[in-house]
Chain A
Amino acid sequence: MSRGGWGGGGVVPVAMVLLGLGGWPTGAGAQHLTVAPQAVLVDYREVSSGLRYSGSGFGGVATGHHGKLSAVASVVRLTLDPTDQSTAGAGFKATQLDAWVGYDVASHASVEVGILRRTADPEFAAQSLGALRLGVRSTYDLGPGATVSFRVDYLAAPKFSGGGRAAFSIDLGLGLDVRLAGRLHGVVDYAFERVNRKTNPGGTGEIDAPIQQTLARLGLGIGF
């Protein structure tokens, strides 16, 4: 079984390159910058309906907007336990890194590229995943200080710790950023990830081993 490169150390440098290409605003150059710790709710399924996990976690997110450029980076640490209906014997922990760099192409639309990297601990308790994101995002100002966004990303070139391939992988999300008071922001985000992974164990033919995850991030942050 081959091991995917995304599960190793290649994603972080790519993320840095993407953020660098996007001109991630640092310090005073950013028009809007929000940093928020987050609580996370997660539901994870793999291979079959019997392998189901549910859990929670914590992490942080940083969002920024400068001119037509925007960027988001999020890291969460998840603790997943088998659900009551699950056949899994034990839970696992996972660390997920998401990063996007977007460019506004219209008043409410932007294109974005980014990365996704999720590693499981113990390593073979679940699939570690790494992929590039290519997608579009629609953002709309609901009112003063409130922004809602909807995004659809194609997960390109996914790599799995357990090997295999995925011709169709998609990630969609719903985001909300609300200025609650002064610099205090509420940042919530929903992400649904569907990966049509296929494996060929022993060369006997491909079998489906899909991955599906729903994730909710809830955070209170400081805006600059």
Chain B
Amino acid sequence: MTTCRGGGLFLLAVLAPAAGRAQALQNATLRRAQQAYDNLEYRQALAFGQAALRERLAGAERARAYEVVAFSYAALDSILKAVDAFKQMVLIDPERQLDPNRVSPKAYSAFDVALRQVLLVRQLRVDSTSFVAGQGAVPIRFMVTQPARVVTRAIGVGGGGGPANFLVDSSAWNGQVNLSWSPRLPNGDPVPAGSYTVVVEARLGQNTFSASQQIRVTHGRVDTLPHLTSLPGYQYLPETEIPAQTWRPLGVAFLYTGGALIGTLGLESSSLGASSKRELGVVGAAALVTGFVMTLRRPAPRPAEGNILYNRLLTEQIARRNADIAKENVARRQQVQLTIGPSLKTGAPR
């Protein structure tokens, strides 16, 4: 059985410049090994590295010592020994990653071979996400370096305060693995809020390796939708329009007055003689003057039928949308928004 211990400090050391890294190393022998390697004195680097490994080193420095030894072996064309050293390195620091653009191909290929010869669960990532319970899942990604039976669990505090263990997946995997966890109880309710640990355990024969990451699940209300007062891109149109100024009022006044005059003349009794035109003159003149004045005045607004129909359709559409929104809001008020994010504490691989 292979057991790994965490080494977050190691990553810091690797990312730093070479001179800085040598300075940061606590162990003097390891520091000399690093300086020798930086000076391209690989045999010295190898000797100091192996000497450092015989000393008492912290996990990060031990991994660093194996790395110096592995790179030195690679530089000296002892690939098998380089692979062995890299294997020891990744067992201490499974997250260690080499940049193929910055290391020699011989060293990188030795590192790659080493990775495939040990069982590791690397790069476990649980992405932060937020979704409505039952309508989404938590993405879980990791890499398994050898074909293995992988059991993924989420372990947390149950609703009653006791432990809760949710099986996410149990399958045979190799390489990059993408899983999704729907955080629901067997009855369909969302899992209780709190801290959970996602544990990925890989087993290959007698070898096991596990990695974990803590996450935090919080509950929230699902946002309800606001009711609409308008539809984007659609504006209400004026329901009246002012027609163009015309001579129609005067024309109509002429027409009506003329009709009365013609009717009067046509209906006059021959035996009674021509009737008085005084009365028609007064009223007809008033009608014509009114028609003339109205011709000069700004026409009265009249209903714009097309716009009225359009506004009615728009109002109906908004009402229909609001009815749908109200219905959806009723459902949303019964839903729970789950937010998954990283926990303050980060789990280390075991």
Contact = CB atoms under 8 A, between A and B. Distances in A.
A214 B253 CA distance: 20
Contacts, number: 121
B260 A174 contact: yes
B280 A190 contact: yes
A170 interface: yes
Given A43-B279, A212-B275, A192 B253 contact: no
Contacts of A218: 282-283
Given A48-B272, A142-B252, A148-B252, A174 B291 contact: no
A43 B276 contact: yes
Judged by DSSP, the binding face of B is: helix
B269 A140 contact: no
Interface string B264-283: 10011101110111111011
A210 B275 CA distance: 13
Nearest to B259: A150
A52 B278 CA distance: 14
Contact of B280 (A49, A140, A141, A214): A214
Interface in B282-306: 282-284, 286-287, 290-291, 293-295, 297, 299-300
A121 interface: no
A172 B273 contact: no
B257 interface: yes
Contacts of A41: 278-279, 282
Interface residues of B, number: 34
B286 A176 contact: yes
B253 A194 contact: no
B286 A188 contact: yes
Judged by DSSP, the binding face of A is: strand
A178 interface: yes
A69 interface: no
B278 A43 contact: yes
Interface string B287-329: 1001101110101100000000000000000000000000000
A129 B269 CA distance: 18
B275 A143 contact: no
B162 interface: no
Given A150-B256, A190-B284, A210 B271 contact: yes
B263 interface: yes
Contacts of A194: 267-269
B249 interface: yes
B280 to A, nearest CB: 5
Interface in A125-172: 138, 140-144, 146, 148-150, 152, 170, 172
A214 B264 contact: yes
29 contacts: A43-B275, A43-B278, A48-B271, A49-B272, A140-B252, A143-B297, A143-B300, A144-B297, A146-B290, A148-B287, A149-B256, A174-B257, A174-B280, A175-B283, A178-B290, A188-B283, A188-B286, A190-B279, A192-B263, A192-B267, A210-B269, A212-B268, A212-B269, A212-B275, A214-B264, A216-B280, A216-B283, A218-B282, A218-B283
Closest 10 CB pairs of A and B: A143-B294, A216-B279, A43-B276, A190-B283, A49-B273, A174-B260, A144-B300, A142-B249, A142-B294, A45-B272
Given A148-B256, A192-B260, 14 more contacts: A45-B269, A49-B273, A141-B300, A142-B249, A143-B294, A143-B299, A149-B256, A150-B259, A150-B260, A174-B283, A190-B283, A192-B264, A208-B271, A214-B264
